[in-house]
Amino acid sequence: MNFTHVPGTNNKHKVTLYALSTCGWCRKTKELLDSQNVEYDYIYVDQCQGEERTRATAAVRELNPRGSFPTLKIDDEVVAGFDEERILELLA
């Protein structure tokens, strides 16, 4: 899958974000990661096509059976939806 890498000084955790380019909560999640200088990879699933889209949606549903966005993976933890407190806790 074609993830976009965002470099950051906070690279203690492996952070992967599945997002939609049009979604307000996905945007807030990205902004939160950026404000914390977190290193992460993200993919806009709505911009994927064909095979890649199938793989991306399968990956999301494996992490978050509801298949909703944003789906954020921090190490082995999954945060579905924008949950600022939980995200900050996991990044600490």
Partner 1 sequence: MSQTAKYPPEVNTLYERLKREAEAGGYTLNPDKEFTLSLVQGLIDNEKRFGYMACPCRLAYGEKDKDIDIICPCYYRDQDLEEFGACYCCLYVNEDWTSGRKPHKSIPDRRPPEFVLSGFSEPAASIETTGTSKSIGPLPYPVWRCKVCGYLAARNEPPGVCPVCKAKKDRFERFI
Q: Which of 1, 6, 23, 59 binds partner 1 (CB under 8 A)?
A: 23
Whether 4 and 41 have beta carbons less than 8 Å apart is answered as yes
Contact assessment for residue 29 and residue 21, using Cβ atoms and an 8 Å cutoff: no
In the complex with partner 1, which residue's Cβ is closer, 41 or 83? 83
Q: Is 49 helix (H, G, I), strand (E, B) or coil?
A: coil
Site for partner 1 in 42-61 (CB under 8 A): 45-46, 57, 61
- Please say whether the beta carbons of 2 and 12 come within 8 A: no
Task: Please tell me whether residue 26 binds partner 1 under the rule CB under 8 A.
Answer: yes
Smallest gap from residue 22 Cβ to partner 1 (A):
3
Among residues 3, 6, 52, 68, the one that binds partner 1 under rule CB under 8 A? 68
Token pair belonging to 3: 């993830």
